[in-house]
Structure 1
Amino acid sequence: MNRVKLLICFVCAIILSSCLSQNKKINGASFVAYGIPVDETHTKPLVTKINANFAAVMPFGFIRGLNSPEIIHNTERQWFGETRAGAKQYSEELRKQNIKIMVKPQIWIRRGEFTGFLNMTSEEDWRKLEESYTSFILEYADLAQEINAEILCIGTELENFIAKRPDYWNNLIDEIKKIYKGKLTYAANWDEYKRTPFWNKLDFIGIDAYFPVSDEQTPSFEKSMEGWQKHKPVIKSYSDTYQKPILFTEYGYRSVDYSGKEPWKFDRSMTKVNLEAQVNTTKALYETFWHEDWFAGGFIWKWFINYDKVGGKDNNQFTPQNKPVEPIIKNYYSSY
C-alpha cells in the first residue's frame, strides 16, 4: 500500500510540475541603459516591485539618418549601458537577482526617426549597411553567448530593411546561430509581424505589441478587452502556423488620455496624465494573453534604473514605476 501511495504522489507531482511549467511566463521589463554601472539598488526593485523574472538589456547603435549606411556602436562616446561592457555588467548584476536576460540591441536614428523607414538609395549603400549591421549584431550575439543569455533579439522594427534585403537576413540568422546557441527572436512592430519572412528560423514570434484597443479618453477595462478580440485570433494564427510561441518583445501604455488609441505614440502634445487609462489597458492585455499556453510572456516598456526618482502620479510616460499600474503588474507576474 505504501508503494502505491508513493507512486500516486509521484504521478501527482509530475502533473503539478507540468501545469506550473505551462503557466510560467517570461515576466519581463525593458531595462533602460544609463551612463553608469548598476548595482543591487538598481536591479532589486524589478523583483520587489513587480516580481520580474526577465529583463531586456538594450545596447545601442546609432545611425545619422534614414539613408545613412553606417551604424556607430560600442564606442567610448556612448553611455556605459549602451556598450558591450555596460550590457555585460548590467546582465551580471541582474543575474544576482535571479533575473534572466534577453539581449536586445537597438538602433537609434538621429532625431528619433522610425527605424522601420530605414532605406538606402543605392546598392552600394545597402551593402555597406549590411556589413555594418552584421558587425553590430554579431558583436552582441557574441556577448549573449559569453554571458549565457537566455534570448537574443536580432533586431527591432526594421521592416523596410528586411523587406528590401530578405536574403541578407536569412544568411544573417545562419551566421548568428554559429556564434550564439540560445533562443532567438526578432521584435516586429505591431503592424509588421504578419509580413516578417523568417519566423520559421527563430524560436519566438516577437511583437512590439502597441495594438490599438480603444478610442476612449479613459479606456475602460471592458472596452479594452473588446478591442483585443480583433487582434488576438490573428496573433494566435501565427503561433499555430509556425508552431512558435508569441513573445511581446515590448508592450505597455502611457499614463495619458487616449492611451489605448495609438499606444505607440510618443507625442509631446499628449500631456494630460491619466493613471486609470494605463491601469485599464494594461490589465486587459494581461487578461487577454497571460493565461494562454501559446503565449510566452513579454517585456513591459520601460523600466529605469533609479527607481525612487522616476515615474509617479505626475508622470505621463510609459514607465509603470511608482504608479497605480505597478501592483497590477506584480499581481500578474506573481501569478504566472
Structure 2
Amino acid sequence: MRGMTLPAWNTDDYNSPQATTYLRQIAATGARWVAFTPTWYQDRVGDPEMHTTDETAADDSLRNIIRLAHDAGLKTMVKPHVDLTKGGDRARIKPKDPDAWFAAYERFITHYAQLAADTGAEQLAVGTELAGTSQDGPHWSKVIAAVRARYKGPLTYAANYDEYQRIPFWNDLDVIGIDAYWPLADQATTDPAQLRRAWQPIADQLAAFSGRLQRKILFTEAGYVSQRGTTTAPYSWTVSKTEDDAEQAAAYEALLDTFDSKPWWAGVCWWMWDDWPDSGETAKNLAYTPHGKPAEQVLRKWWAPGT
C-alpha cells in the first residue's frame, strides 16, 4: 500500500469543495491508496457506548469521498475511529460493562462494514488503537465475524506500536496493522542513516512476528510533524514550537528505505494530508502534512519517479 490518510473532523468535510483537489494532490505523490476516518465519540473511558457528534463525517459525505477517490484512480481504506469527546488517548477506553460496549461497537463497525461494501472500498480496519479492549479476544472475534458477514474485502486492525504483540485475534484478520510511531532518536536528528539504524532492530522484530503469524504487516499509520525533535516522539502533535521540515523528510526517507524492499511488509498509509480549510489546530508548517514540504519530494522520489 502506497497510502495517505485524509481524516475528517467535521460532518461535511468529505463533501468539501476541497476534496477533489486533495485527492488529486495525493495521487500526484504516487500514492495509490487513501484512508478515511469517520469518528464516533465517548464522553468517558468507561461508558457503555459511542455516539456521533458534529465532528463525525456524515455517511453521504463518506460515500462521496470514496466515489471521488475511485474517480481519481485511488483505492480506499475505511478506518473508523472511536475517540473521547474531551480529547485524550483512545487507548484509555476501558468499558465498565464490556458486553454492552462490544454490542454497541459491533453496531458501529458493522455500519461502516456495510457502507464499505456498498461503495466498493478496497479495505476495512475493524478498529484503531483500542488497547484498553483489544486483549479481549472472544469479544473481538465475534465483532470480526459480524463484519465479515457484511464485507468481503480484506480486514485489518490498526494496533498502536506498543500494542500489536498483545493482540489475540490477528488470525481472524487478513493483515496485521500497526500505527508505527516508534521513537527513533533521543534528540533531534536530520540524519536518515541514524534513523535507519534505529529502525533495524524494530524491523527484525516485525519480520519474526510476521513469520510466526503468517500475515503481512501494514503500517496503518506512520507520520512525523515538521517540528524539531519529531523523531523522538512521532506520536506527538506538539514536540516543539520549532519548525523542522528537514527532520520530517529524513524520517520519511528512513522509513521507506528500511521497509520498502521487505517481502513481509504490506506498505504504509501516512498520517496525514492537509487539514480542511479552517479546521486545523496545528499550523500547516508544524503539522503532520508533508504537502509542500521536502517530505512530499521524498514520497515522489519513492513512489512517482520522474515527476
| TM-score where L is the length of structure 2 | 0.92
How far apart are the structure 2 equivalents of 1:311 and 1:66?
A: 24
Shift of the alpha carbon at 1:310? 8.2
Task: Please name the residue that 1:197 is paired with.
Answer: 168
2:196 aligned with 1:225: yes
Letter in 1 for 2:129: E
Output aligned runs, 1:92-111, within 5 Å.
92-111=67-86
Query: Judging changes above 3 Å, is the alpha-carbon distance between structure 1 residues 175 and 228 closer, same or farther for their aligned structure 2 residues?
Result: same
Distance (whole Å) between structure 1 residues aligned to residue 282 and residue 23 of structure 2 = 18
Runs of 4+ off more than 6 Å: 309-314
Q: Which residue of 2 aligns with 1:69?
A: 48
Deviations 1:291-319 (A, max 9, x none): 11211111110113659x98999711211
1:118 to 73, 93, 102: 93
The CA RMSD over aligned residues, in Å, is: 2.2
Query: What is the letter of the counterpart of residue 315 of structure 1?
Result: N
Letter of the 1:303 partner, please give it: W
Cα distance in 2 for partners of 1:169, 1:32 equals: 25
Which segments of 5 or more consecutive residues in structure 1 lack a partner in the other structure?
1-25
Maintained 8 Å contact 1:40/1:93: yes
**What amino acid is aligned across from residue 29 of structure 1 in structure 2?**
M
- Opposite residue 157 of structure 1, the aligned amino acid is E
Please identify the structure whose Cα radius of gyration is greater.
Answer: 1
Find 1:157's aligned residue among 119, 129, 132: 129
CA contact (8 A) 1:27 1:299 kept: yes
Per the alignment, do residues 247 and 327 of structure 1 end up closer, same or farther by CA in structure 2, a change over 3 Å counting?
A: same
Tell me which of 282, 291, 301 is aligned to 2:252.
Answer: 282
Q: Give the secondary structure class of the aligned counterpart of 1:315.
A: helix
- 1:238 alignment partner AA: F
Greater fraction of residues in helix: 1
TM-score by length of 1: 0.84
Task: Tell me by how many angstroms 1:141 deviates.
Answer: 0.5
**In the alignment, does 2:27 pair up with 1:47?**
yes
Matched-pair contact (CA < 8 Å) for 2:237–2:288: no
Which segment is superposed worse, 97-106 or 125-134? 125-134
Deviation at 1:219, TM superposition (A): 3.8
**Post-superposition CA distance 1:34-84 (Å, at most 9, x none):** 534145323211112x121100011111111111122103x6x345xx132
Q: SS of the residue aligned with 2:254?
A: helix
CA distance in 1, matches of 2:60, 2:287: 28
Cα distance in 2 between the residues matched to 1:58 and 1:283: 25
Alignment gaps of 5+ in structure 2: none
**Number of positions where the alignment pairs a residue of Structure 1 with one of Structure 2:** 300
Say which SS state the counterpart of residue 102 (structure 2) adopts.
helix
